[in-house]
């Protein structure tokens, strides 16, 4: 009996389910999107792509994206606004993937699930979000090149000397921007921005205080070092070089902890920078070169710095002695391998005043005098060794007669010397070595005639034996029978007393650059 009843019941249920399925299928057929079209109720951001074909949706969404990329990001840097569009910051978005997903809505399941999805989005639209890729390098470049310009460096108070009186300007605070932090803030603001909202960012800025205030600068008022040397004003080109280099150094301020370089300040030694050809040292010879004479400028400043008792960072002697100061009191300039540098190791700015007048070049150094009134500082040059020049260096000129002789360069005596600093204070004397210097000896340069048909050949053979005097053999005939009279002149061509000291000197031939003397 029960079995008989269950049979019709199952049949009824089956038929009902079949009817429901048929109804749903029929209903789905009425609501499903047409072939090649997106289901109604689908959005990409704010773009309603329902009922659109794939190409139509792609065009509509791409237009939305392009408009979105023109949105402006405003960065506040010290109260000043710097702007850039998202496109300029490197943002972009590919719309192909999201369009492909939209095309599958209501199509990728069975009729029942598809119908359920379509009914759902009919009341609650399905919205796809675009994913924008940011190029962080471009954002950092924007911050570093555009935003950073709104951050000025702190300016120290300036020291000027006008008509013999010091004038001090106010210091100004500056700021620095943290590029990475600001770039990260821009990226975060873009990600969190809602449609229609302005995208604003405040840059990560740190205030930078000046290291030298006006009060500190005003302490630079005392002359703490001074020195002058003389030169031949009749040598016009050399005089102009001295004047030009002194002008370039004059009015310089060296702040506490800074290092001053003469080479960097007066370079380049070119005609375009106001220099002329004048005598210089090069490979043991005196030759003309552009900027000749500027070593006297660095030497004069060196001695002023010594008297100011500032820290000398770099100083080199000339290859040969100079006439305007004693040995070890010079400071050569040559290319980029010989320079005079000193550091301001005081607490206040150092001001350099320099110039030329009536054959004199001078430098005054100003700062704050902190030394006691009874402190007396002097410097003493001591020559520890004298090096005599060797035999004449003879050049033969075939265009001149044998009787022709011309000294083209006088000999230079070489020296080894030290410079002592002597300080007398509180009844005590302290002596300290400042430097040691070696100056090479250079022979006399002579040009002799050697025209054809003259007796130059015999004269040449004699000078190769001994250039400074005739052999003793001619004075004492008895000794000519012995080989010693002939051998001795040959040995004097390379005397031990001359060769050994030269080995310890600084050889001019090793110097790649001309010294400005």
- Does residue 383 lie within any of the structural domains? yes
Domain end residue (candidates: 189, 216, 243): 216
Pairwise CA distance, residues 45 & 122, whole Å: 17
Pairwise CA distance, residues 403 & 182, whole Å: 84
- Does residue 425 lie within any of the structural domains? yes
Pairwise CA distance, residues 422 & 429, whole Å: 7
- Does residue 143 lie within any of the structural domains? yes
Do 194 and 291 fall into the same domain? no
- Does residue 270 lie within any of the structural domains? yes
Do 146 and 206 fall into the same domain? yes
Do 389 and 329 fall into the same domain? yes
Do 206 and 232 fall into the same domain? no
**Cα dihedral angle (211, 217, 223, 225), rounded to 10 degrees?**
10
Domain end residue (candidates: 184, 216, 248): 216
- Does residue 460 lie within any of the structural domains? yes
Do 279 and 415 fall into the same domain? yes
- Does residue 86 lie within any of the structural domains? no
Do 167 and 234 fall into the same domain? no
Contact between 179 and 144 under an 8 Å Cβ cutoff? The reply is yes
Q: What are phi and psi of 271, to 5 degrees?
A: -65, -35
Do 279 and 313 fall into the same domain? yes
- Does residue 157 lie within any of the structural domains? yes
Domain end residue (candidates: 187, 216, 245): 216
Percent of the chain residues topping a pLDDT of 90: 64
Provide the pLDDT for residue 145. 92
Provide the pLDDT for residue 426. 94
Residues 6+ away with beta carbon under 8 Å from 487: none
Q: How buried is residue 361: exposed, middle or buried, by Cβ count under 10 Å (0-12/13-18/19+)? A: buried
Do 174 and 193 fall into the same domain? yes
Low-confidence ranges of the chain (pLDDT < 50): 1, 26-31, 456-512
Q: What is the tally of structural domains in the chain?
A: 2
Which of 242-246's residues contact partners 24+ apart within 8 Å by CB, and which partners? 242/293, 242/294, 242/296, 242/297, 242/356, 242/361, 243/355, 243/356, 244/273, 244/274, 244/275, 245/291, 245/294, 245/297, 246/297, 246/354, 246/355, 246/356, 246/361, 246/363
Q: Which domain holds residue 378?
A: 219-464+504-510
pTM (two decimals): 0.68
Provide the pLDDT for residue 91. 92
Residues 6+ away with beta carbon under 8 Å from 44: 57, 60, 61, 64, 95, 98, 99, 102, 127, 128, 130
Do 158 and 236 fall into the same domain? no
Do 278 and 151 fall into the same domain? no
Pairwise CA distance, residues 253 & 258, whole Å: 10
Provide the pLDDT for residue 487. 37
Do 265 and 322 fall into the same domain? yes
- Does residue 120 lie within any of the structural domains? no
| Sign of CA pseudo-dihedral 399, 402, 408, 409 | positive
Do 401 and 447 fall into the same domain? yes
């Amino acid at each position: 009996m029960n079995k008989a009843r269950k049979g019709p019941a199952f049949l009824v249920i089956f038929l009902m389910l079949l009817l429901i399925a048929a109804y749903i299928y029929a209903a789905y057929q009425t609501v499903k999107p047409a072939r090649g079209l997106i289901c109604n109720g689908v959005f990409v951001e704010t773009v309603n792509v329902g009922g659109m074909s794939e190409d139509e949706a792609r065009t509509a969404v791409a237009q939305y994206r392009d408009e979105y990329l023109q949105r402006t990001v405003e960065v506040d840097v010290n109260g000043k606004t710097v702007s850039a569009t998202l496109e300029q910051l490197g943002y972009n978005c590919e719309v192909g993937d999201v369009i492909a997903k939209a095309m599958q809505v209501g199509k990728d399941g069975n009729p029942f699930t598809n119908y359920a999805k379509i009914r759902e989005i009919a009341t609650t639209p399905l919205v796809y979000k675009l994913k924008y890729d940011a190029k962080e390098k471009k954002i950092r470049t924007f911050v570093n090149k555009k935003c950073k310009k709104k951050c000025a460096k702190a300016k120290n108070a300036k020291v000027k000397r006008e008509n013999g009186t010091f004038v001090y300007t106010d210091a100004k605070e500056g700021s620095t921007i943290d590029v990475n932090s600001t770039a990260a803030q821009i990226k975060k603001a873009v990600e969190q921005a809602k449609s229609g909202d302005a995208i604003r960012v405040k840059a990560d800025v740190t205030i930078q205080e000046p290291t030298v205030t006006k009060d500190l600068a005003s302490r630079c008022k005392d002359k703490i070092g001074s020195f002058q040397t003389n030169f031949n004003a009749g040598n016009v080109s050399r005089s102009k070089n001295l004047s030009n280099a002194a002008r370039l150094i004059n009015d310089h301020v060296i702040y506490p902890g800074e290092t001053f370089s003469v080479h960097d300040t007066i370079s380049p030694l070119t005609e375009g920078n106001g220099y002329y050809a004048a005598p210089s040292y090069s490979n043991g010879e005196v030759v003309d070169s552009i900027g000749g004479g500027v070593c006297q400028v660095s030497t004069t400043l060196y001695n002023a710095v010594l008297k100011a008792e500032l820290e000398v960072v770099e100083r080199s002697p000339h290859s040969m002695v100079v006439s305007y100061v004693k040995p070890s009191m010079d400071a050569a300039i040559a290319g980029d391998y010989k320079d005079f540098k000193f550091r301001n190791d005081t607490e206040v700015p150092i001001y350099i005043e320099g110039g030329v007048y009536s054959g004199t070049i001078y430098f005054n150094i100003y700062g704050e005098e902190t030394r006691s009134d009874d402190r007396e500082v002097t410097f003493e040059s001591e020559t520890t060794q004298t090096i005599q020049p060797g035999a004449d260096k003879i050049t033969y000129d075939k265009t001149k007669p044998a009787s022709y002789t011309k000294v083209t360069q006088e000999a230079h005596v070489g020296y080894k010397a030290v410079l002592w600093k002597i300080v007398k204070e509180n009844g005590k004397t302290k002596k300290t070595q400042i430097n040691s210097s070696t100056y090479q000896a250079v022979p006399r340069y002579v040009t002799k005639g050697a025209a054809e048909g003259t007796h130059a050949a015999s004269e040449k053979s004699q000078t190769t034996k001994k250039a400074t005097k005739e052999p003793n053999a001619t004075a004492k005939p008895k000794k000519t029978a012995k080989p010693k009279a002939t051998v001795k002149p040959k040995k004097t061509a390379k005397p031990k007393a001359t060769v050994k000291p030269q080995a310890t000197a600084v050889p001019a031939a090793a110097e790649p650059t001309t010294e400005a003397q």
